[in-house]
Amino acid sequence: MKRHLALAGIALAIAASAAFAQQKEVTIGYQDMLDPYRHAQETKELEKSTGYKISWKQFGGGGEVIKAMASGAVQLGEVGSAGIAAAVSRGEPYELFWILDDIGDAEALVAKNGSGINSVADLKGKKIAMPFNSTTHFHTMVALEQAKIDPKDVQILNMRPPEVRAAWQRGDIQATYIWDPVLSEVKKDGKVIMTSGKLSAETGKATFDGYIVNKEWAKQHGDFMVKFVKVLAAADESYRANKAKWTKDSPEVKAVAKWSGAKPEDVPAGMALYGFPTLAEQNSKWLGGGKNSLAAKALAATAEFQLSQKQIEKTLPDYSVAVTPAYVQEAMKK
């Protein structure tokens, strides 16, 4: 009898352990980017699709998302390609499973009117702000390198987007390399000097925003991952098919404004600056293809630059180890 009770106890323990592993709760870290699935956040599409309790937590930059994931407080998060490259180069256990957006012209170097800055070379001696270890930090350094400007000759300040906005309004900085919603605001009394789309085309060093997940958590919640990808893909497809209907008064744009902190009237133009890859493009171009995938090559280029700037201690021989098309491929089957 005791043996039967012991076996029953072991079985219960195993079942409890499995139940814990499949606990239907998740905390997702997001930022203030203008992305179509903000409307899905508002309408709780992910909760409806998966049955999970979703806790959405907003962060001011990719570095903060990475720290929260490292502590175990967040399981999935939105991070720019620079933050992803740094984290996986350090050996942190994350994988990129979705390209939120091809940044293109959605990030730009803007100089304040009256600052005397009309080119990247004019940044000498001036104050420029952006979040460190972000895609805009990376492209700031790429732009300076391209213009043969020593970064030491520029006052480069580490500020989160809300801090950039406040510093710009106070006149504490002369330039910023930033994204919406702050980008739309600084453009009103500033001049665009360079966009990430132009810089990527000239240097081959692309930037993007992506979704990363703790690898072990993803293994235990594979069904959730596939359903999440399907929600993301459906939101992007809805936007691509109905752009004209995404006006400042539409519920979709109001949702993007609410979750990002942007003004509804700035959202349509801001979103138009991004590229949102289709499910097929995610697989064939961005995530699929191993070492030759666009994402893996972008991460490798970013990491090489971070190494040269002593932001990381080493690079990986192959960044496709941190890129997976698996969940996209499963989503395409269903």
List of domains in the chain: 24-103+207-333 (3.40.190.10), 105-203 (3.40.190.10)
- Are 230 and 4 contacting, i.e. CB atoms less than 8 angstroms apart? no
Q: How confident is the model at residue 180 (pLDDT cuts 50, 70, 90)?
A: confident
- Name the percent of the chain lying above pLDDT 70: 93
* DSSP characters over 130-163: E-TTSHHHHHHHHHHHHTT--GGGSEEEE--HHH
Whether the per-residue pLDDT at 15 is higher than 60: the answer is: no
* Residue closest to 259 by CA, chosen among 78, 81, 7, 13: 78
- Average pLDDT of the chain is 92
Whether residue 126 is predicted with pLDDT greater than 90 in this model: the reply is yes
Asked whether the bond before 317 is cis by omega within 30 degrees of 0, the reply is no
Burial of 254 per CB tally in 10 Å (0-12, 13-18, 19+): middle
Return the closest-CA partner of residue 295 out of 328, 331, 334, 256: 328
Please say if the pLDDT value at position 156 is more than 80: yes
Give the confidence band of 22 by pLDDT, cuts at 50, 70, 90: low
Under the banding of pLDDT at 50, 70 and 90, the label for residue 135 is confident
The pLDDT of residue 20 is 44
